[in-house]
Amino acid sequence: MNSNQNSSNGIFQDCKDFLKRIFNSMPLFIKCVIVSTISLYLLNLIIPYISYYLADIPYFTIYFIQIWRLVTTSLITTNLLSIIFSIFFWYKDAVKLERNIGTTKYMLIFLMNTICIQIMYCSIMFLLSLIINKSILIMKVHPEGVANEGLFPIIMCELTLLCLSNPDENMKLFFFPCVFKAKYYPLFLFLLFTILSGFRIDFEIICGIAFGFLYHYYLKNKSQISNTFVMKLENSFLLRWMKNKNGFINIGGTTTPELNNNIANVRNVNINVNNTTTSHKGFKAFHGKGISVGSSENNSNTKKDTNSETKETKENKEEVKKNNDYNNVSVTINSEANSSDSRIDLNSSDLRP
């Protein structure tokens, strides 16, 4: 009995450690989105109808100017399966994006895309309410709760942008024996989801795909977020606290601990000359006069006057003493070289790091 309890406790501890490692390896913003989505789902189970106050219901967003719904709607999902599938489809590409462009920049792009998609959605629903019926503005509201797509509009937007980056690539739709051009893939995927949902048209998903096409063909060169603006925002009092958090990625796509390690390792420089390696710490480029080092047997200038050679040697020694900042850089030359002139200029571009 005790052995079974110990084995079950060991398995539980292994699973706990595994999930903890995954959580700690997540970039900061993706971690915040996943935690917020799951927390709001659990909170909605405890406090019913909280989704009514956070989901983008066009009637309240337009007529009561509840603009926070444009942002919070991406974090609201009242169905556990929708949370699992949305995180599964979104996580991989989102991690790549945040690690490549940085936490703050990806957060701004995520918020901008979310707000634009929801504004487009509210505008379409408002126009349809004028043509069909005003009640369409509360179409999401059902007796069992609010029908909300959570992350799926953002997923379709990012998928559309990814497909349009290489529009002629052939892509397969899941297990179907059909191949489509990448630029048509989001449309066929939407058609498949519409059929599986009983031909229920989801206008939020349509807006996500439409905004992806709009951004790629029209807005991409007009609404870029500059790195300078992102860096200023990171150093402001609003986001300064994020920089010390685990998983934060700088604008260059490097986490802060990795950046510190790279700076510390910059001092170890290897110089290769004729397949011979010389290790040196703190190497700096030499900007003084060139010094010729060569074999006396092969040197073409061996017939110089002895007095001038002695004078040059003294001057070279004085030069070396004046340039102690270079920390005794040594260059090893293959003594078996067969060339007629084996001199190497230390000021040459081949030796600069």
Give domain limits for the chain.
26-260, 269-351
Torsion of CA 329, 285, 295, 337, to 10 degrees: 100
Write out the two tokens for 339. 């060339």
Rounded-to-integer distance, Cα 206 and Cα 153, Å: 8
CA-to-CA separations, 20 to 152, 211, 344, in angstroms, rounded = 26, 36, 56
Q: Which of 102, 107, 104, 98 is nearest to 235 (CA)?
A: 104
Q: How far is CA 18 from the centre of its chain?
A: 23
State the pLDDT at residue 321: 53
pLDDT per position as a tens digit, 168-197: 898 887 777 778 888 899 998 888 888 887
pLDDT band at 113 (very low <50, low <70, confident <90, very high): very high
pLDDT per position as a tens digit, 215-260: 999 988 888 888 899 999 888 888 888 888 889 998 866 554 444 4
Helical residues (DSSP H) of 165-305, grouped into ranges: 185-196, 203-214, 227-234, 256-265
State the pLDDT at residue 74: 93
Long-range contacts of 65-71 (CB under 8 A, 24+ apart): 69/118, 70/114, 70/115, 70/118, 70/119, 71/111, 71/114, 71/115
pLDDT band at 20 (very low <50, low <70, confident <90, very high): confident
How buried is 151 (Cβ within 10 angstroms: 0-12 exposed, 13-18 middle, 19+ buried)? buried
Rounded-to-integer distance, Cα 187 and Cα 80, Å: 25
CA atoms within 13 A on the CB side of 316: 11
As a whole-number percent, the residues of the chain with pLDDT over 90 amount to: 34
Write out the two tokens for 147. 């029908």
pLDDT band at 6 (very low <50, low <70, confident <90, very high): low
Beta-carbon neighbour count of residue 210 at 10 Å? 19
CA-to-CA separations, 7 to 10, 15, 346, in angstroms, rounded = 5, 12, 66
pTM for the structure as a whole: 0.68
Rounded-to-integer distance, Cα 100 and Cα 94, Å: 10
Average pLDDT over residues 148-166: 91
Mean pLDDT of the chain: 75
Average pLDDT over residues 269-298: 44
- Residue 342 φ then ψ, to 5°: -100, 20
State the pLDDT at residue 159: 92
Write out the two tokens for 106. 């990806």
- Given a cut of 50, whether residue 312 has pLDDT beyond it is yes
